[in-house]
Each structure stands twice: as structure tokens, then as C-alpha cells.
Amino acid sequence: MIDVEVAGIAVPHPDAVFVAGEWAPAGDAIYAVISPATGQTVAEVALPSEKNGLAAVDAACVTGLTSWGGVPVAARVETCARFCALLESRLAEMETVWAVEAGMPVRYSRTLHRFGAIGAWTTALASAQDVLRDDSRSSPLGDVVVRREPAGVVVAIMSYNGPLVTMATKVIPALLAGCPVIVKAAIESQLIMRIVADCAADARFPAGALSILCGDADLGRLLAASPHVDMVSLTGGRTAAQEIIELTRQRFARTHLELGGKSPALILDDAPTQSVLKSLLPGATSGTGQVCALLSRILVSKSRHDEFVDQLRTAWEKLRIGDPLDPKTQIGPVSTPAALDRTERFIGRAIADGARVVAGGERPEGFDVGWYFEPTLITDVGEGSDLACNEVFGPVTAVLTYEDLEDGLRLANDTSFGLAATVYTGDREKGVECASRIRAGSVAINTYGPTLTAPYGGMKGSGWGREAGPEGILEFTELKQIVLGPE
């Protein structure tokens, strides 16, 4: 098979798909990979067929459950460690092709991968044997062995905005737990996931343990609906989550949902402006706004609103827009035309509702091609408005004001989401107290989180279950008690 070269990087097996540990012939459908920076086709690759999806499920059931789930934890750790080492050796390649196909600046992905992905899989590898070890207890019936067993065949459905990190927080933990995994990556992740699959092939997973398919929503539905799939783990949006729930509920298959957010940055009156900006700026604008835990709502008291907005305006206007392959670029294009249209519609509705654009708000000058949009800061955003309540998934940040601390905490919780939050304050003890009152799975104090070395996930409409950390491995296990009666 002939590799395709993109930005000087060889992308392996453009005419094949990775099924059950091997490259296999794909279907007849061809997908054009279009650069968000230019709007031009940079490669054509084959898409997985329904037959490929069914073959992946069959292999996971027939051989994966025993060839992978039945081996000692130490052996699984050894294979996964080999896989992760191969991924680390090819980070530069993946960051380059991801910039080309998704528009994510290499400056952003280098930070995300080195501190997010590597931290997540390093923690998982180090903790797997301890968290999966049998526990001995006593009972009136005799000694009891409490055992963690693999949850079964897992379908891991991933979004386009962080495929390598999701491999680290979802797929590696599921594999360590002993589950054969079928990865349904986003259709927009063709190039980066082919390199990931190439690393998986070199890691020599046993047959059936791992398949990687980059397909559309129909492929995801096919996999989730299979009666042979025991668990579906989704990173995505609410509509997709509702579909997964419907497809799995009749057979009581387990689901794990890592969904979106409308995360607040609650700035208390004692927080120094310049210290806040150091983490708030990247926390609100990274990934060109296409980050589920983005600090998309800035909450500031009415008494400090003008001061903060002036500082924020200056910071936003200095953000460098450009080619995602340029290491100096902070803001690249959004990844899809749909994201660009959605961003413009959100801003139009916000202005119609009485909000005021402070910075950005338009397509940038000098970018006549590609799906670029200025990082946008909007104030006078009303409670209950579309922009205050709903996820844009584009470079738009809303500023809302509160009266006092109680009102600020009320506003922080005034959302159907509950993924992440940050509290900025000069008093760490007060910050921790506020964190305990914010309903979110991750709350940071004076920084931008979450960390991916600890369990991470959402509350309310941001989903259920946890990824990352030792607990992320346990998410993909079932508990069993073995009661030892008389000999």
C-alpha cells in the first residue's frame, strides 16, 4: 500500500482501515481531507464500510475477550506501554497532520499532548496493576475475593477536537482494564488516527484487542447498536449522547458519556487582574474555542467589570491568528464549515439580544480562504440568553456580571452543564470553599484545568462517568465477588 504525504509527513495506508490489529481493505467510499486553513483537499482516504465495523465487533467478541482480557494485567501493561512509547516517538508527525486536517495550532497541540496525553497514559500505566488487584475480605459465609473484571467489548466514540488525548483518557484505560476496544474516531481525524493505528500495529496487540475506524455517525450507530457490544463510551455532544442511550437501553449495555460544557471563570473581587489573565486567556481561547472544558463564561462583579473588560479586550486583540503550522500561531481556523456557521449565528443572536462585542466578532482581514474567525469577547450578555446557556464550540467568550459572591456562585451554577470551572481569588481557602459549591466535575483555583492525571468527567448535562487517573481504568470494569466456602 502506498503512503500519502501531507506537509512532509507520510500518512500510512490511505486505502485501508485498521481492523482487529491488522490493516484491512476498506469500503468503496472515499473521503476528501480538506484543510481548514485553505479550504483545499490535501489527501483522499478510504472510509470504513459496514462490513469493516461488523468484522471489528466479531473479532473483539471471538478472540479479543480471551486473547486480551484473559491475559495477566502485567502483560496488558507491557503492550500498552509499548504502544504509548511509539505514540510519543511520533508526536511531531501527529501534531503536523492534525494541524493540517483539523486546523489546531501546533503550539496548542504540543502543550495538550505533552501535558495532557502523556500525563494521562503515564498515570494509567503506573496504576493499572494496583487498581486491578484482587481484594480479600471476610464475611459470615467465608472469605471473599473481590475482583475487577473487564466490562466486555467497548466501543469508544471520539470527537475531532482531541483524538490523541481521548486515546489517553479513554482507550488506554479500557485496554488496561482488559476490554477489547473498537475506536470509532471522528471522520475529520483521518490523518492523525492513521498514524495512531500504525503505532498500534507496531505495538503488536493480539488479534481482536484493538480496531481503529474513522467513520461517520452511521458507523457509530451501527457499532453502538450491536448486541455484542457491552459498553459504549462517548466523547461528543448531547444529541449523540441521546442516540447512544436509545441504542443501548433495550439491552442494558453500559454507557459512559463525556459531553460538553459552559464552564465559568468566577473572578472574585480580590483576584489580581494580571495573575488572572495568565491562565484565563488560554483557558478561554485554546483550540480556537473547540474545547469541551473551555472557560466560555467569564463572571466578574459589576464593580470590577469595566476594569476587567478593558484588560480582556487588550489581551484578546493581541492573540495571533494564522497558519496552524506556524509555532507562533495562537488562533487557527475552526475545524469545519459548520463550526464557522455556528459561531456566526451565535454572535448574531447575542447582538440581537442586546449583547455588545468588545473584541473580534468577524472573519479576520487578510484571510480570504479557510474557516477563520476572530477570537471574540462579548459583554452585556444576559442571563438565560442563548450565548449564556449554550455551547458555541467556537472562539466566542461571554462576560456576565454578578452583584456579590452569593450571586456569583448562583450564576456559576446557572447552567445545564457541569464539566469544569475556575475560581480566581487571592484567598486560596476561599477558593476551595467556592469550588465545593460549584456543581462541576473539575474546579480549578487560580489556574485552568482539568488535569488528566486525576479522574475527570461531568455532572448534569455534561455526562456521567469518569476518565483518566486510576479511577478511569475502573470505569471499564465490573465488580465480582467470589465467596470461598468450606473446602
Active centre residues (catalytic): 258, 292
205 by DSSP, 3-state: which? coil
Within 8 A by CB and 6+ apart from 18, the residues are 24, 194, 197, 200, 201, 210, 211, 212, 213
* 254: β partners: 231
Closest to 115 (Cα-Cα) out of 468, 410, 462, 372: 468
Distances (CA, A) of 430 to 6, 21, 275, 436: 50, 51, 17, 10
For residue 255, give the 3-state DSSP assignment: strand
Give Cβ neighbours of residue 121 (< 8 Å, ≥ 6 apart): 80, 84, 87, 167, 168, 172
- Residue 15 grid cell: 486505502
Q: Which positions ≥6 away from 334 have C-beta within 8 Å?
A: 36, 103, 288, 289, 290, 340, 343, 371, 372, 373, 394, 395
C-alpha cell at 59: 473479532
Nearby residues of 386 by Cβ (< 8 Å), 6 or more positions away: 346, 349, 350, 353
Q: Are strands 264-267 and 254-258 parallel, antiparallel or unpaired?
A: unpaired
